[in-house]
Amino acid sequence: MGRGFRINFSVPELKTAMANISAYDGRTAGKIEDAVKKATVNVSKGARQRVAVDTGDLKKNIRSRFDKKTVTGYIIAKTWYAHFVEGGAKACPSRNIPARAPKPFMKPAIDKAKPELIRDIEQAVKKT
């Protein structure tokens, strides 16, 4: 098993909400946490659904966790080759290794979950 790889993505609405989280009541802060937690699970599920399967190791090693203290979600593809599947690889003729076309699984999962996360955050902080 390898170290995995990291993709960071920015959601300005989340950044704004997190900067002001202490100004919100507990209920609103809880809704923001729930939105991030839900998006983390959705990205993880989406990545597992989209990943190219050869042996199944990569699919089995896509995991997620949520850090409540920092309100941060982590999705980890913990195999040594996950980044090669996501982004592709150049050929290495000296080692007789052919080029590999990218087969993104994490980025499409993020792209699908992002609008729902934004909507959930906007609803959480909306004044009623």
Of 29, 7, 34, 31, the C-alpha closest to 18 is 29
Domain ranges of the chain: 12-125
Predicted pLDDT at 128: 46
pLDDT block averages, 10 residues each, the chain of length 128: 66 78 82 93 96 93 91 90 92 90 95 94 80
Give the global pTM.
0.85
